[in-house]
């Protein structure tokens, strides 16, 4: 039965947006943890660690997120590991975010002047103490604007999890479109909700960037 | 149950994968051409237009950059026919990709235009160059030189993003992988192979853009060599010496 697109549907879309937010948060938390490890590996002293993490970044950044998602949902289930759409989506988005955040944070760690390493080394600090007390506090300050900027990419890319059947914002837009057949109205509202989620983040990122480079 | 990896049935379809890859490349290059045009026009309008033009361009850029590509694709593919514009899937994909890339290119090229020093405009005015001559020779060429690496990586990203158009049944690489997956039941193998193809395409694109950069922006190389030349040596090299040194040096 065909129904008219109404405020009830907007309510449904808003409710579905909670799943978009949930997947984004999960991806960001797990991706952040994994990305931190990748960033440490990229800046490690061991060439093997540097190579492995560089390879990881190249592989993930050279693959569409959609393929990573298909591999973690369809691929793993063939191999005998059946994941629910939510878990598969989180896994794929974590892999995706780990590579990009790892690369962003590597840049920030390496942007800390080498003198800071040498000075803390001269104080007989261990590698971990150097990172923990000297390098990371300075790197985090630089990392904040691009990290918030990347969170916009994460939120937007959760839209493709609709393809494996996770009923988040885009998928419920498709479902409502099937019932109302008013694609223009439905998807414009979907886009507006994404915009409401992403625009504050990108504005915040821009503002932080300006603050960080205020001396320029 | 142990799963035996078997690439045989998937590799037997190699020609279809090749067709898919070709479609992906065709779409990407068409979108890159259109997107760069939109981006250049957008950046000029955003830098030199009236306040209203600037505001309109800002709306376009922010609207595209803060919404998912998939939703933009749906609005164009499902939405346009309801207002009387019948388009097929490939056209919809191409429009969506161009509009999307256009917004990012606008922002990137605009940054390059902004980085041009005020004195350059004054110098152009002193040479009695017209507005368009200034934009063409003094603004656009150096701006493109400056932002070319960022632009090239955005192009590669667009090629990867094009996998999403498989959802509206465009027969590109990802769609081919799904079809072959459902025909051979070799899910893991299909997607691993397609992943390898995407990585290879991304590497090839990066190489191609690097080579294009070397060819197109010769002036930049020469300027950079002059910059890095030690103080003691004469800064103006003879033509022969100049080409000799610039050949081996990458920007």
Position A211 pLDDT exceeds 70:
yes
Distance CA A85, CA A87 (A): 6
Q: How many domains are there within chain A?
A: 1
Name the residue among B38, B193, B177 with its Cα closest to residue B108: B38
Comparing CB atoms, the residue among B63, B74, B195 nearest residue A63 is: B195
Contacts of A65 in chain B (CB under 8 A): 160
pLDDT of residue B224: 66
- Section A138-159 average pLDDT: 93
Taking an 8 Å cut-off on Cβ atoms, the answer to whether A194 and B195 are in contact is no
Contacts of B164 in chain A (CB under 8 A): 64, 66, 160
pLDDT in tens, B20-66: 999 999 999 999 999 999 999 999 999 988 999 999 999 999 999 99
Mean pLDDT of chain A: 92
> Rounded to the nearest 5 degrees, what angle is found at the Cα of B152, between the Cα atoms of B150 and B155?
115
Domain residues for the domain of A162 are 7-212
Residue B245's pLDDT band, with cuts at 50, 70 and 90, is very low
B62 CB within 8 Å of a chain A CB = yes
A70 CB within 8 Å of a chain B CB = yes
pLDDT of residue B15: 87
Higher pLDDT, B118 or B251: B118
A158 occurs within a structural domain? yes
Residue B187's pLDDT band, with cuts at 50, 70 and 90, is confident
Residue B247's pLDDT band, with cuts at 50, 70 and 90, is very low
Is there a contact between B143 and B116 (Cβ–Cβ < 8 Å)?
yes
Tell me if the domain spanning B13-194 has CATH number 1.10.3720.10.
yes
A vs B: CB pairs below 8 A: 122
Taking an 8 Å cut-off on Cβ atoms, the answer to whether B66 and A198 are in contact is yes
Say which residues have a Cβ less than 8 Å from residue B115's Cβ, sequence separation at least 6: B143, B146
User: Among A62, A76, A182, which would you mutate to test the B interface (most chain B Cβ atoms within 10 Å of its Cβ)?
Assistant: A62
Is there a contact between B158 and B32 (Cβ–Cβ < 8 Å)?
yes
User: Among B6, B62, B68, B164, which would you mutate to test the A interface (most chain A Cβ atoms within 10 Å of its Cβ)?
Assistant: B68
Higher pLDDT, A17 or B1: A17
SS3 content of chain B, % helix, strand, coil (to 5): 80, 0, 20
> What percent of chain B shows pLDDT beyond 90?
57
Distance CA A21, CA B9 (A): 40
Is there a contact between A86 and A23 (Cβ–Cβ < 8 Å)?
yes
C-alpha distance from B135 to closest chain A C-alpha (Å): 26
Taking an 8 Å cut-off on Cβ atoms, the answer to whether A75 and B70 are in contact is no
Name the residue among A1, A2, A5, A18 with its Cα closest to residue A187: A5
The distance of Cα A175 from the centroid of its chain, to the nearest Å, equals 26
Say which residues have a Cβ less than 8 Å from residue B26's Cβ, sequence separation at least 6: none
- Section B94-119 average pLDDT: 94
Name the residue among B161, B67, B87, B174 with its Cα closest to residue A173: B67
Q: Specify the CATH number for the domain of residue A93.
A: 1.10.3720.10
| Domain ranges for chain B | 13-194
Residue B228's pLDDT band, with cuts at 50, 70 and 90, is low
Residue A133's pLDDT band, with cuts at 50, 70 and 90, is very high
A126 occurs within a structural domain? yes
3-state secondary structure B190-246: HHHHHHHHHHHHHHHHHHHHHHHHHHHCHHHHHHHHHHHCCCCCCCCCCHHHHHHHH
Comparing CB atoms, the residue among A64, A173, A190 nearest residue B161 is: A64
Is there a contact between B32 and B161 (Cβ–Cβ < 8 Å)?
no
Comparing CB atoms, the residue among B1, B66, B71 nearest residue A199 is: B66
Say which residues have a Cβ less than 8 Å from residue B64's Cβ, sequence separation at least 6: B72, B99, B100, B102, B103, B104
In angstroms and rounded to an integer, the radius of gyration of the C-alpha atoms of chain A is 21
Which helix or strand (DSSP H or E) is residue B93 part of?
helix B89-114
Instruction: Give residue for tokens 């947006």.
Output: A17
pLDDT of residue B185: 80
A2 occurs within a structural domain? no
pLDDT of residue B152: 94
Alpha helices of chain A — where are they, by DSSP H? 7-42, 47-61, 65-70, 76-78, 85-111, 114-122, 127-129, 136-157, 169-180, 183-212
Is there a contact between A102 and A199 (Cβ–Cβ < 8 Å)?
no
A73-76: Cβ within 8 A, 24+ apart: A73/A164, A74/A164, A74/B181, A74/B187, A74/B188, A74/B191, A75/B187, A75/B188, A75/B191, A75/B192
Taking an 8 Å cut-off on Cβ atoms, the answer to whether B198 and A177 are in contact is no
* pTM of the shown model: 0.87
A59 CB within 8 Å of a chain B CB = yes
C-alpha distance from A169 to closest chain B C-alpha (Å): 10
Position A203 pLDDT exceeds 90:
yes
Is there a contact between B32 and B104 (Cβ–Cβ < 8 Å)?
no
A1 occurs within a structural domain? no
């Amino acid at each position: 039965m065909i129904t008219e697109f109404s405020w009830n549907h907007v309510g449904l879309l808003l409710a579905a947006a909670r799943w978009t937010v949930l997947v984004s948060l999960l991806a960001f938390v797990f991706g952040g943890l994994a990305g931190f490890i990748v960033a440490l590996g990229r800046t490690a002293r061991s060439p093997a660690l540097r190579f492995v993490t560089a390879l990881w970044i190249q592989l993930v950044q050279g693959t569409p997120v959609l393929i990573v998602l298909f591999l973690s949902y369809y691929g793993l289930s063939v191999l005998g590991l059946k994941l629910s759409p939510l878990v598969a989506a989180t896994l794929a988005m974590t892999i995706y975010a780990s590579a990009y955040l790892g690369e962003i944070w590597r840049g920030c760690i390496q942007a800390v002047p080498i003198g800071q390493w040498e000075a803390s080394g001269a104080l007989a600090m261990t590698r971990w103490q150097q990172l923990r007390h000297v390098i990371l506090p300075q790197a985090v300050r630089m990392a904040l604007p691009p990290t918030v900027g990347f969170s916009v990419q994460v939120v937007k890319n959760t839209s493709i999890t609709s393809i494996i059947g996770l009923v988040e914002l885009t998928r419920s837009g498709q479902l409502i479109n099937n019932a109302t057949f008013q694609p223009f109205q439905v998807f414009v509202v979907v886009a507006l909700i994404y915009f409401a989620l992403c625009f504050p983040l990108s504005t915040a990122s821009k503002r932080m960037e300006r603050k960080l480079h205020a001396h320029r | 149950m142990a799963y035996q990896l078997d690439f045989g049935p998937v590799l037997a379809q190699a020609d279809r994968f090749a067709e898919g890859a070709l479609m992906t490349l065709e779409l990407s290059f068409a979108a890159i051409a259109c997107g760069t045009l939109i981006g250049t026009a957008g950046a000029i309008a955003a830098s030199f237009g009236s306040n209203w033009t600037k505001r309109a361009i800002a709306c376009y850029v922010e609207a595209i950059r803060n919404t998912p590509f998939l939703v933009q694709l749906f609005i164009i593919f499902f939405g346009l026919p309801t207002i009387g514009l019948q388009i097929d899937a490939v056209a919809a994909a191409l429009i969506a990709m161009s509009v999307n890339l256009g917004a990012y290119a606008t922002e990137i090229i605009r940054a390059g235009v902004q980085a041009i020093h005020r004195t350059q405009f004054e110098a152009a005015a002193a040479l009695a160059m017209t507005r368009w001559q200034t934009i063409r020779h003094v603004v656009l060429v150096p701006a493109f030189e400056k932002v070319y690496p960022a632009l090239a990586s955005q192009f590669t990203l667009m090629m990867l993003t094009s996998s999403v158009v498989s959802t509206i049944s465009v027969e590109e690489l990802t769609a081919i992988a799904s079809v072959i997956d459902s025909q051979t039941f070799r899910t893991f193998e299909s997607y691993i192979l397609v992943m390898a193809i995407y990585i290879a395409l991304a590497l090839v694109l990066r190489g191609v853009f690097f080579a294009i950069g070397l060819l197109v922006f010769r002036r930049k190389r020469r300027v950079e060599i002059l910059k890095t030349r030690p103080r003691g040596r004469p800064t103006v090299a003879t033509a022969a010496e100049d080409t000799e040194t610039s050949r081996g040096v990458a920007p």
